[in-house]
Every structure is written in C-alpha cells, then in structure tokens.
Structure 1
Amino acid sequence: MKASIVGATGYGGLELIRIIKNHPSLEIASLHTSSQVGSVLGEENHHLLHLHEKLEQIDPELIAKKADIVFLATPSGVSNKLVPALVELGIKVIDLSGDLRLKDPQLYEKWYHHQPAEARILDKSVYGLSEWNREQIAKASLIANPGCYPTATLLGLAPLFTEGWGLGQDVIVDAKSGISGAGKTPSQATHFSEINENFKIYKVHKHQHIPEIEQQLGIWSQDLGPVSFTTHLVPMTRGIMATMYVKLKKETSTESLLELYKSIYENHYFVRIQPLDTFPSTKQVFGSNFCDIGIAYDERTNKVTIASVIDNLMKGAAGQAVQNANIMMGIEETAGLVNIPLYP
C-alpha cells in the first residue's frame, strides 16, 4: 500500500515518515509541503540525512496517481480545502487537523476561526477514535483523526459513560502537554527561555478541543453538561497527561472500576490499565502508540479520578493515524506500531 503525506515537514508529518518507514505493509509514495518544495527531506531534517526523497508541491491529482491513501498533517484551515478534490479522485484520506472533527460547522467556525468544510464532506467523514469507532473506520474512506487532548481524555472517560456509570454533569479535565503539541513553528510561548523551568496554563475556557470532547461524550451520555477543560504547557518535548474527575451515579470501589476498564479494553492492544494504586507517567508511553490509564475511587466524594497518558505525536497524532489506516486498509491494526516505549 502506498501512502502520501501532505505537511511532511511538520512534527506530525515527520512522525508519520518514521512510522511508515518501519511499516511492513505501507510505503511512502510521495511527500508534499507548501514551504520547501524541491528540497530533499534530509537537508532540513538532519535526523533523516539517510533519506533522499524530494518534497513535492501539493497537487491532489498528482497524489491520487501515486498513492492509495493520503495523510493530511496540515494546520487547521488547510485540509478542508484539499479534501473535496481528494475525495472526488477516489483516494482514501486521513486528516490529522481539526477541520473534519466537528459535525456542526458553526462550532468549527466559532472555535477554530476558519471557514468550515462543506457539509457533504463533514457527513462523509468518520471520527477516528480507533478503539471505539473501529467498525465505522473499516468502512470509511475519509477519517477525521482525533486531537491529542481528546484522545487521552476520551479513552480515559469512555468506559464510565458508555456503561452508564458516570454523571454527565460537572466533568472536569485537567490536562498537560509537552511543547511539541504547539507545533514546529516557533513563537514566544514556545521559546526556550519562556518554557524552560516554567509551567503555564493557556487557552483557559477557549481551547478548540473542548467541543470535540463534548461532541463524543454527548454521543455516549444523555445527561452531559458542559465539560470543564483546562490545558497547561509542561517543559518537556513529548507527552500528555489528562487527569479527569467524574461523579458517579452510585457508590463503588476502585477494584470494581478497574475490573470495568480491564474488561472493556481487554482486546485493545494499545490501551493499558494500571494495577491497583498505580498511576501512569508520560515517560512510560514516550515514542509509542500506547495510552496508559490509572484509576482511583474516592468514597468520601463518590468521585473517580482517572489519569490518562499518551505521547501526543504518536497516539495523539501520527500513531493513531496509522492505526486508523491499518483498520481502513484491512491490515493488522497494530502493524508498524508495535514498539517498546523509549526509556529512560
């Protein structure tokens, strides 16, 4: 199977290259960029000095002639202009941006401040939360790859709400991300002297992933209220930790919650549930497609605390995109992604 990557020089695109180069069934057909057309991949990205592919212009017809599937690792507001042409040409598409995630175009315009995709494209796209939408993904030709924060959050909350254990009111998500989540383009916020030895809250009540989280939780829960979602930048390169607080409909125990989570994720290779009284750290999923989840019940408040960690560039972006590609193309779901996390 041949794959093209649009936005090949961003962090997400570079991670896709790393995965696909080690994939048993996918190979790179072409790499595309809007900023470095004609240059050789390894010239600007020295960790890829051994690779000599040339970066090409973004041309849907050219891509469709070369590839079976295309990954769009572009900023928001770009892919929604490319997708219609690619869909018309019959190529499978996985969009890593936020352009196709929200089914309500008005919500997209409000939170992303861009013109939304066409309604027919939004209707055609499938939300690619791999562990929960596998059947839809297998039949799809257009995937909206979930955001990094929503992936960690939704995988952590899903068992509570799909099984009716959690109250949809007053759900709180306290999330932290490494600096690579801000993308490759430098800014004052990502300058070394700004982020080093610092811990910053940002986009308070304004993060564009809020409606994405609420959209999926609303499918699972009839009584969902607004979700309190707060994000922070941590002075590390990779990783997300989402710590969630949910009130339950009835009293339970940590042991019962662990049994619930283990039974639901039993056949999902990339979700690992921590043992009793053990909680995950971002380091233990570094460079991998795993999502590790720890759980604790507070009998005083009848609330559960869930800690969910992922590598934002892997399970939160390129790794989940390849997982979705595997499902779409009828390849073993774990192909190209079975690697031990980097440690230490």
Structure 2
Amino acid sequence: MGIEGMHAGVESTLAGGCDNSAMDVLRNVSLRSFNTLGADVQAQALVQVACEADIHALLGDATWRDVPILILGGGSNIVLTRDVPGLVLSVALRGRRLVRETEHLRIVEAAAGEPWHDFVAWTLDNGWPGLENLAGIPGTVGAAPVQNIGAYGVELQDRFDELDYIDLRTGQTGTLGAAECGFGYRQSIFRYGTWLAEGKRAGQEEPDKQGAASLRGHALITRVRFALPKVYQPVLGYADIEQRLLAAGGAEPDARTLFDWVCEIRSAKLPDPREPGLGNVGSFFKNPTVSEEQFQHIIGRHPHLVHYRLGDGTIKFAAAWMIDACGWKAQSMGPARVYARHAIVLVHPGGPAAGAEVLALARAIQASVCERFGVVLEIEPVVV
C-alpha cells in the first residue's frame, strides 16, 4: 500500500473491496446529469462503477458481451448528440494516496473517478506541489490522460508517472508508462477510443497486432500515478500568470498562491458548467499548429494573428483569436452560442438536442475560420 501514516491527508482506499451485489444497472436513464453540456439524451443501460469488481462482474455477464460501451468520467469533454445504445459505464472509482518517495520525487496516485480539481487541491494540502497550474480543470483523474490535459504552461505528461487500466475485451489489467501512452497536444492513445463500435468490442474481429496502440476504444483507466518534484519550481511562463506576477511586484509565488491565481484567471474567463444556462465542455477547439512554411503563408495575409512558436519548430495559432476575428464571439445559432468572455467556449442551456445544436454551431465556426485563414479547427471534445 505504499507509504502509510506519514500525512493526515493520505488516503489508501484505492484497492479496497466492494460488494458488487449492490451494483445497479439502470435502464433507459437520462444522461443529462452525467455530462456538463446538459444533453438530455437517453442511455439504454447505465452502471456507476464504484470498484474494479463491478467492471469484472459486467464483463463476465453474457448480457453485455456484444453491446457497445461508452465510458464516462466527469462528462466534461464529451458531446452527446443522440441516445446511447448499449451500456454506459460512469466511472466512480475513488481513493488517493502517496505511493512512495524517491530522492527527488513523490509518486502520488488517484483513482479514476476522483474529481481532478479536488485531487490537485489535496496534493497541495499535503505539501506536494507540481499540479497547481492544472487547477480548475473540470472532469476526473481518469479522463485527464485521455486528452493529456494542459493549462498555463503545464501538461499532464509533464507530471505523469504511469496508469493502470482494464481491457474491456478480455478483462485483463495492465499498466502503461508515459512513452506507451503516446501523449501529444490534447491527445493520447486513448483520445478517440471512448466509443466502441456497435455490436462488438473494438478490434474484436482482428488479431491484436499493435500492442498498446490497440487499446484505443476498449481501455478503462482505473488509477493514475503522478511524479511530483520535491524541489518546487513554479511554471510562470504564461501571459496571464506573468501579469499576476508583475502585479505582485515580481516576487515568486508559492504553490498555493499560484493555485489561487490559476483558479481566479480561469473563473474570470471560463463559465462554470454548473451555472444554469451555461452548459459547456470547456475549450471546444484545439489551438491549431502549422509548419513554418504554412505559418509564413498565413501570417503574410494576417500579420496580427496571435501565435506562439513551439519547441519542435511548429507554430501554434490562438483559436479563440481566430474565432473572434471571424465575428463569432457572443453570437448564437438557435440556443447554442459562443461564450462572450472566451470565444473558444460554446455554451448551451441543455436539453435533448443540446449536443447536435452545439455541433452545428461548431461546424459553422470551422467553415468561417477555414475560409478566412485557411486553417481547419479541430474539435477537442469527443463527439458521440
């Protein structure tokens, strides 16, 4: 169980047993409360997975052997456009602990159903900095590696150690390190693998030839471990953070102060999905990256386009700036609209057609940006 009793806040409930006789299979249930966009679509069947035994019990039940499966974490990065056939697994695995310490690192673990922001706050409560730039991101710990979440100069892969998963085809468990997860900008080997093809497990018809890559579509992440440096070094190289630093007189912030800054910056720009009428999935589009040749072609025509040079020689454009430049900020299509304070966020009051209506708005924005800048914006959330 790793290091125990060192800190009052350390919890070691990750591997605890549970009574799967209490597991309920809900039929024809609304998913409105299971997604932050508020799409009021129906799931044919839903199970809230409270422990790994629940997963194994389901996989051993012939009832669910050949049905599609949709995995839901916090529902904050998914657009549900229709009713969901088959089985929805709502991941509710809980627990967090300090696993071990090395000379330079603390290895901290959290179960997949832990709310991400609460986990970040818990690490700081125990005096373990490293995740503070990622504060305020909605969703769960298990969903975080799927899109390699990132904010204010830090990505999950910068603090990642390894994760455990269950293969939904075989019931076998496994562990993946950073290299095996294939992390990139808002992507991983899990990125497009949440939805399984109807009537079969993904990849079931073919031999497994790709190793870890074949996990796309049928891996349920159960717990994630992070490597947090013992020597605190704040990451401050982001415009909004630098402005806070300047206002504070240039004094380097401690981890808790940086955590508070990030929370304040996010709340000033981004809507709370729980606020009535502002259902959303956070950033709806990825910031597009282009080659130097493409950059020179585009910037010659649009010299004021906001951009950032990356370490690999590519250039990242600010999607929100492009959307705003096309006149979409605060504009609506039906009940779906572009958020007035940040053009990369699309909001909707919720309802049966929420996903489809937001997607229609997104497609219109993509067409406008492509026509003006010659750049295709990629949708960030998973669309079902």
TM-score normalised by structure 2 residue count = 0.28
TM-score normalised by structure 1 residue count = 0.31
Asked which structure has the greater CA Rg, the reply is 2
